[in-house]
Chains A and B, each alone.
Chain A
């Protein structure tokens, strides 16, 4: 089992550019979560899909951030007009069915906005 796969592992982008982050959940897992990790804020929830449907996006900044899950094998997090404060490690996690099943984290994408 390859675990949760995230690409790219590192991304450097200029202020105002767009960044798209990819996540492939563990095969058979129907729940996908996105979190953001910074030194100052720690681990923050962003959004959550179950069976490809958006369930909870209460942690998503309302502007510039969007997430999709077009099929069961991948999810994307898109940040438009990136700002330096978006710099963080973006972590994707998957679980068997949500419902407080264990969440397995991917290696993360380290985003640096210059």
Chain B
């Protein structure tokens, strides 16, 4: 089955700077890549996603890049704020019928330092 690797596991950045999280996947059939943010004691919440027909997507301070050839995708948070501190998970899923399950990376603990 699909495997998703996520790095780094912990990321500390200064408030106002950018943060980047990188993920790679193995299954070339994967074509949907969501990112979830999880705060302590809370459920994961979708913050942005990208499909394989796109290379870049931006929602406000969130930018997702997808390199299908390299089987890599990444999340970039610009102008980080204290509220961005949380766990972030990347995920992948494939198109074939019934393959809607998400395979998650192990997560990145993002710490915004004042």
Contact = CB atoms under 8 A, between A and B. Distances in A.
A1 interface: no
B62 interface: no
Interface size class for chain B?
20 to 34
A57 to B, nearest CB: 10
A59 B101 contact: yes
Contacts of A42: 89, 104-107
A22 interface: no
Given A100-B32, A102-B34, A31 B100 contact: yes
Contacts of B49: 102
Q: How large is the interface on A (under 10, 10 to 19, 20 to 34, 35 or more residues)?
A: 20 to 34
Q: By DSSP majority rule, is chain A's interface helix, strand, loop, or mixed?
A: strand
A98 B31 CA distance: 14
A4 B36 CA distance: 16
A99 interface: yes
B46 interface: yes
Contacts of A48: 98, 100-101
Interface in A44-85: 44-45, 48, 55-56, 58-59
Contact of A33 (B36, B99, B101): B101
Given A35-B102, A42-B106, A95-B100, 13 more contacts: A42-B104, A42-B105, A43-B91, A48-B98, A48-B100, A55-B100, A56-B99, A58-B101, A59-B101, A91-B44, A100-B93, A100-B95, A108-B43
Interface of A: 4, 31, 33, 35, 42-45, 48, 55-56, 58-59, 91, 95, 98-100, 102-108
8 contacts: A42-B89, A55-B98, A56-B99, A91-B43, A91-B44, A98-B100, A102-B49, A106-B43
